[in-house]
A and B are shown apart, each in its own frame.
Chain A
Amino acid sequence: MICRKNFIALFFASVFVAGPAYSQNDQNKTLVVAVSTDPVNLEPGTNKAEPIGSEIIFNVFDTLVSWKAPAFKDLEGRLAKSWTVSPDGKTFAFKLRPGVMFHDGTPLDAESVKFSIERTRDINPYMKSNFGLIESISVQGALDVKITLKEPMPVFLSLLAQPQAAVVSPTAVKKFGDKFNVNPVGTGPFMFKSYTPDTNVVLEANAGYFRGKPKLERILYRVIPDASTRRLEMEKGGIDISQQNAQLSSIPADELKAFKDNKDIEVIEVPSQIIRQLEFNNNIAENSPVKDVRVRKAITYAIDYDGLLKGVLGGTADRVYGPLTTNSWAFNPKMKTNAPKYDPALARKMLQEAGVKPGDLKFTLYSFQGSLWGAMATLIKSNLADVGIEVTIAQTEFPSYRALQTAGKFELALDGRQPWYNDPDAHITIGYLSTLADSAMTFRMPKDPVLDALILKAQTTVDFKKRKQLYFQVQEAIAKKVPGAYLFSPKLIVFKRANVKGLVVNSAPPLNEYWGVSKQ
């Protein structure tokens, strides 16, 4: 029991004892990143494509290959110095970079690559189907590893660029066991230092990083759940970077306006591969007006795309014209030329030709919760009202919404997809393969063996040019069916303090890399 006199004495005596705190110089070498919730898992074996943990993985671990900044159109070797693909497209032989060390001092070698991939395949339900494509992994030499697939899958290299495909230290896994998830050890530019739940994650620079020591000494992820608090901290200088997580359902236009006049804050806008659309239930069981392609087409001509992009989204998104975004290497330019334009008069005429009178059609429009989806739904409701279609908006909490979708209990819905790897396969296969219609939130395409065969052929064709042509055909075949109205692709928006330089923002998955970042 500290009595009052002693307490006062202790207090004054302790004034002369310095406590652990950061100097101003330290603060300049520390990057503070704000995130909205705790990361769920910090290593590839357990992280199921959750964004915050995935970004930490991106900076603490390395993958075999990754996309070259800033265009993200070409793959370059990260842990792999070079690789070859067999003519049948089934075997990938990697030569690893020599001299790369894990943070615990053990060397990177072919055994650790084999160990990592097999471990992730076995324990991560998210990666089970990705890595389920693998027939075998063989170690050909200390730095030579060969991965053989069950079937040719050119998308496999893109899958290897995901954070969930990163390479872990087998020694650390054996040492930490279950706790490896909160003691991740990789080869990356930053080493894991500490995780304080609900508060922060601290990473420290890896001086021995094979691409060169990072300029920063420390990265601090601060968990700040409230968006307006993050914004105030940004203005106050309490955080350096705040990512507009594109999966969030709010519109960043307000923040953009607020920060525009602030010379201490810069906004980075990067095109993403996310697509948001108004989709029809394309294999609806009952008789429904959306079964008629003329009705569907009319609806696509009733939507004010410019109004949505400029008015509602304030320029923070790009138009999408078809199943792929314009920045995809497989984007078919015909999608743009043939895309529907806002024309209510034409829409009304099309409806008339389909035998529909104004006031005949009444739909419920389902969507995710959040102000962004609400604004989209409101615009579409008013656009459709202009052509005589009545719409009731039903924004639904995610788990219920998903249940509704996979059971096919809707006619109109707002939906979207954020691809987690950089390949047209990410949008096309799961979105449009009719055999997968009920397996996820898809376009629910009706049974069509011809389109299915085309999609599977495009997925497995090894020759790049031929594959591109096949995806062109796929897009045209899909567009003919009018499965939905393609609306927009939100840009990835990152707010940063003006003195932060060298930030690399990936588009798919949308994560930041901090290796080259410095604060001036």
Chain B
Amino acid sequence: MTRFLVDRLLSLVPVLALVLVVIFSLARIIPGDPAVTLLGPGATEEQISALRVQLHLDQPVTQQFISYVSRLAHGDMGQSLKSGRPVFEEIMRRLPATLELSVLAMLMAIVVGIPIGVFSAIRANSWFDHVVRVISLVGVSTPAFLLALILQLIFGIYLGWLPISGQTSSFIFTERVTGFALIDSLIAKDPKALWDAFLHLLLPTTVLAAFLAATIGRFVRNAMLEVMEQDFIRTARAKGLSRYAVIFRHGLRNSLLAAITVIGLKFAEMLGGAILTETVFAWPGVGRYMFEAIKNRDYPVIQGATLVFAAMFVLTSLLVDLLYGRLDPRIRKKMQ
């Protein structure tokens, strides 16, 4: 087991190195340089050259790469070309907001998606199953920003129940401790702030969860249908187990194995930030930050954020594999 863990963790190094080389070159291949984007259409060559020198963009690319890697070895991801602040700090500052959204969306998607998948499988080809399949098709196909806008209109404007942007209200100040709005309001013992943070989370979480719940539902349904055909299910029924026990203890548990991989990978993807959702809801997460960085050609941020996302993806898939191993004795044996 330890060998397995060490191997996987060591594999991070070549993966991240490759990612770095690719993103370093890609960012610079895209036409347009940061000094131009930062200064805008009215700038003269003189102003742009002066800024390029200030940002060390006048150095040859290989030299820029070498200085970047040597600084990276000391744990320094450089400074944002736009704000001048340390990249790592900026990313870590925004990561909690994305995590809060991703975790809650994942939970919502699981709570909604799995039961629906199970019932669809049990009642395969019934009207319930057909309705659900249509709704989940719509959920998967609707662009996030369209769903976001519809929810904003209905719940924010027409009904007026929910706020439509931001992580918290402009008029409620909570001291930032962790960056998670819910946790910080708990730490501050402020029920108004907690309720406020919760309300702000509802709409963006729903938008993210919609796509995910639909995907999970379809996956679980198909996995369940397959599993329920297996011999051991027939055996369980023959043994006289209750319907509940057959479906959940035997059917679902085995289908979930496959679902976990999907859920895990989707979660790892979400950690890269749901750009459209974060933009529409003015959510201060990493997805939006990365998008702005690409628009501004903010090389250090693009590089740093990509490395962080790659590392999180590798670690998350490692966790998924470990979890899979815990749940499936066959895999556990292989790991040892």
Contact = CB atoms under 8 A, between A and B. Distances in A.
A17 B280 contact: no
B230 interface: no
Most chain B C-beta atoms within 10 Å of own C-beta, residue among A19, A30, A416: A19
Contact of B164 (A27, A198, A232, A417): A232
B173 interface: yes
Interface residues of B, number: 59
A304 to B, nearest CB: 26
Given A20-B173, A22-B172, A125 B32 contact: no
Given A19-B190, A222-B170, A402 B83 contact: no
A128 interface: yes
A461 to B, nearest CB: 23
Contacts, number: 167
A473 interface: no
Contact of B174 (A19, A228, A438): A19
Interface stretch (B6-14, B42-50, B61-69, B234-242): B42-50
Interface in A11-70: 11, 14-15, 17, 19-22, 26-27, 30, 32, 37-38, 40, 46, 48-50
A126 B43 contact: yes
Contacts of B51: 48, 125-126
Contacts of A399: 31-33, 36-37, 297
Contacts of B33: 399
Nearest to A239: B170
Contacts of A430: 42, 44
B40 A50 contact: yes
Contacts of A355: none
A220 interface: yes
Interface in B1-58: 31-33, 36-47, 50-51, 54
Contacts of B176: 196
A307 interface: no
B279 to A, nearest CB: 5
Contacts of A50: 38, 40
B292 A19 contact: no
A439 B46 contact: yes
A78 to B, nearest CB: 24
B280 A229 contact: yes
A440 B190 contact: no
Interface residues of A, number: 64
Contact of A20 (B50, B54, B172): B172
Nearest to B90: A197
A30 B171 contact: yes
A21 B279 contact: no
Contacts of B31: 397, 399-400, 403
Interface hub of B36, B38, B170, B285 (most chain A Cβ within 10 A): B170
Contacts of B47: 48, 125-126, 128-129
Nearest to A368: B41
Interface stretch (B132-140, B152-160, B213-221, B260-268): B152-160
In order of increasing CB-CB distance, the 6 nearest A-B pairs are A399-B32, A19-B190, A125-B50, A198-B284, A22-B171, A14-B189
